Chains A and B, each alone.
Chain A
């Protein structure tokens, strides 16, 4: 925010620009928490489990599996990631299982900033996006300057999407303005590049805090809100995702602006992915049922879906050995 205000001063001589900036500033005020409804733990968990009572069969199942596959952010976020590993992953993203004709690709590859250039080159014009986790991922324990430069580095290498982490420590200290300003600053650096804001819900402790963090992120300019880094357990759960989807819905009704959702970590089975789609469909409706507005952050989900698709096609389950791991 501080930087933003400086900018305003710099351009104060250009009348028009200044008006725009003020308008922008007005748009990104911190949310008024007096209007945020509390979340009842028992109730939200009960509702989330109700989605798992849906029985998804035949055509619905097939369409759901294909859609889920197309929503995956295929992820590798390890210290030992190398050019070779990332190239392999990119190839997998483009050719999930060539034995099955007509499969969609995944939505994106999610890597560290240092791997963006390799991934970009490997993916070429496949249409698969490259998402980079920036801002001192996964802990976020660094200075604003480092986070901004991390983000700019990823952008400069061609990242299509930035996945940032919020400062959970500051959030739990009650410094909501700090968290808000930080997200706004990163979004400012991103420009039109879509920003995913990772709340790391496993560290927040309550659903009320998840709701609050979701609102801070959305009002600060997030394009996506995302549950987890995948480095903390628990990662995404259905109730947490439900709380965030409801926050997105309320934000949409309040502002008319759509925000996308990305649960990440812990979703490795097709059946669970289908229940997430049921939940998405019943909370946000059909407009969100595509990979522009919803993603799964996952590494092993893709192969489980492929196994299910082959089972639907051939009638028998096949050994995991028939599906490439990378």
Chain B
């Protein structure tokens, strides 16, 4: 009895002294989040009050006669009204693309095609600031990211594929690469302009024509791109950009005169598309969801690894299909890593995406915010331990605090399902074999990250990861020359690099 009491007292004292110790040894970062506003100017970008469909080189009113609003998720203000393409509009766009393909684009010398693609790349660079502002207003991502990542990377994709246009015989030696015809391309809301570039550039370089549909919540940069394409004098119909929701996408997928579907988006929709095109001779590339494992070994450069974890999960509010949403930390450095991670989270500035100092912007839509909040609730119900940074959130708009869960089990849903938000599920591990097994124990296989200072370990482990992209000692690095795509439910086909040409050609 006495033994027990004394034991309890010792435990209590230990806990208290631990708490005191924790309390005294805690860095304070409130001042790191306080800066005078440094707002990018809205007036530097022109957004029209109404946008029509870009078909056959002209902006045309929709036959459906319907329009929908696109809003700024950071303020919930309406930015513009955008045409809703119906079935007749899709038919019109596909016909324009078909005609352009048969009459001009497939006959045009490849070097001429390249000139147009270069021109688009240059014009994106020239209007980079305007693109960045619109991307941020429409999608909610921080201006720092759209300015330093989205827009320049999009321009780079056009530059890169312009170079391939007249060199396809070197891409596929001893074969002749023929275009497929009309490509139907459906892109997501997380990187609107960049995804448009990923899709349009290789299609044009290989001699295909395009019907592209941006996501419902983020159509504006694609429409700005349409203006550029018009200004660049691309032959009418080579690129058609139509706006709409899921039904418009379904009409595209089911259209008999489309030869190729390129889709980036959710796994659920990817499955529907795959069912719809079964039995047809449409080619497809699907780039779907992910639940990437980011693995920190005890010999890793810890501070840089923590930065990589931050970049992996909080970049673009976690709206990244290859986001490092599962973190595995080797037990011997677990506490140290969590401490560093929490400290770093405290310095993240969450707020107005137009502020140049903002690190984490607005969640893309009310629906997505509700999904994320549902998962956060679920994580708490599942018994995981939640930590959120102390930052204050703006009153208006859709915002979510950077969130991590520790004490997560492999069987928890927050460790299995794609949340697509700033929510990280953290587990510890003991041996290399264990972590590889756990990392691969997922329905997805898009990307992964490995952090270790040992080169031989990197080569040994990366070859065992079932993921399309494995980053070592870095995360979320993109380059037009590097292919990107997934395993398993993360889809198939590769975009970017030499591999990115293949889905748009038939080899004879």
Contact = CB atoms under 8 A, between A and B. Distances in A.
Interface string B18-32: 000100110111111
Given A47-B307, A249-B27, A286-B30, A42 B38 contact: no
B35 A54 contact: yes
Given A256-B24, A282-B29, A285-B29, A38 B301 contact: yes
B347 interface: yes
A48 to B, nearest CB: 10
Contact of B357 (A55, A59, A253): A55
A256 B20 CA distance: 12
B144 interface: yes
A23 interface: no
Contacts of B34: 60
Interface string A32-44: 0000011110111
A107 B307 CA distance: 33
A44 B306 CA distance: 11
Contacts of A59: 36
A56 interface: yes
Contact of B35 (A44, A57, A252): A57
Interface string B30-44: 111011111000000
Nearest to A285: B27
Interface in B409-443: none
B440 to A, nearest CB: 25
Nearest to B299: A38
B300 interface: yes
A53 B31 contact: no
Interface in A1-58: 37-40, 42-44, 46-47, 53-58
* Chain A interface mostly: helix
A287 interface: yes
A40 B35 contact: no
A281 B307 contact: no
B236 to A, nearest CB: 41
B35 A287 contact: no
A287 B27 contact: yes
Interface string A291-312: 0000000000000000000000
B221 interface: no
A246 B347 CA distance: 15
Contacts, number: 89
B453 interface: yes
A289 interface: yes
A87 interface: no
B27 A284 contact: yes
A287 B24 CA distance: 12
A55 B303 contact: no
B75 interface: no
A144 interface: no
Given A47-B307, A54-B357, A282-B29, A60 B36 contact: yes
Contacts of A40: 301, 304, 453, 473
Given A284-B27, A286-B28, A287-B27, A37 B302 contact: yes
B35 A282 contact: no
A117 interface: no
B298 to A, nearest CB: 9
B32 A285 contact: yes
A256 B25 contact: yes
B308 interface: yes
Interface residues of A, number: 31
Interface string B263-302: 0000000000000000000000000000000000001111
A284 B474 CA distance: 23
A55 B453 CA distance: 33
Contacts of A57: 35-38
A289 B32 CA distance: 10
Contacts of B38: 55-57
A61 interface: yes
Contacts of B35: 54-57, 60
A39 B37 contact: no
Contacts of B37: 57
Given A53-B144, A57-B38, A287-B27, A39 B32 contact: no
A61 B34 CA distance: 12
Interface string B353-389: 0001100000000000000000000000000000000
A39 B25 contact: no
A195 B353 CA distance: 44
Nearest to B147: A53
B301 A43 contact: yes
A281 B31 contact: yes
A255 B308 CA distance: 27
Interface in B297-330: 299-305, 307-308
A285 B28 contact: yes
A282 B343 CA distance: 9
Interface string B334-360: 000001000100010000000011000
B67 to A, nearest CB: 37
A37 B305 CA distance: 10
Contact of B474 (A38, A43, A53, A61): A43
B315 to A, nearest CB: 12
A249 B303 CA distance: 11
Given A58-B36, A252-B25, A39 B303 contact: yes
Nearest to B37: A57
Of the listed residues A39, A56, A282, A284, the one surrounded by the most CB atoms of chain B closer than 10 A to its CB is A282
Contacts of B27: 249, 252, 284-285, 287
Of the listed residues A37, A38, A42, the one surrounded by the most CB atoms of chain B closer than 10 A to its CB is A37
B36 A43 contact: no
Contacts of B29: 281-282, 285-286
Given A38-B453, A246-B303, A43 B473 contact: yes
A47 B333 CA distance: 21
Of the listed residues B35, B144, B303, B473, the one surrounded by the most CB atoms of chain A closer than 10 A to its CB is B303
Given A253-B25, A286-B30, A37 B303 contact: yes
Contacts of B343: 249
Contacts of A38: 299-301, 453
Interface in B457-508: 473-474
A51 to B, nearest CB: 10
Contacts of B60: none
Contacts of A58: 36
A46 B311 CA distance: 11
Q: Which 10 A-B pairs have the closest CB atoms?
A: A43-B304, A55-B38, A40-B301, A55-B356, A37-B302, A285-B27, A286-B31, A40-B304, A38-B453, A282-B347
9 contacts: A37-B302, A38-B300, A40-B301, A40-B304, A43-B307, A47-B307, A60-B35, A256-B21, A256-B25
Interface of B: 21, 24-25, 27-32, 34-38, 144, 148, 299-305, 307-308, 333, 339, 343, 347, 356-357, 453, 473-474
Given A282-B29, A285-B29, 15 more contacts: A37-B333, A38-B301, A40-B301, A40-B304, A42-B473, A44-B301, A54-B356, A59-B36, A61-B36, A246-B303, A253-B339, A256-B24, A281-B32, A281-B347, A286-B32
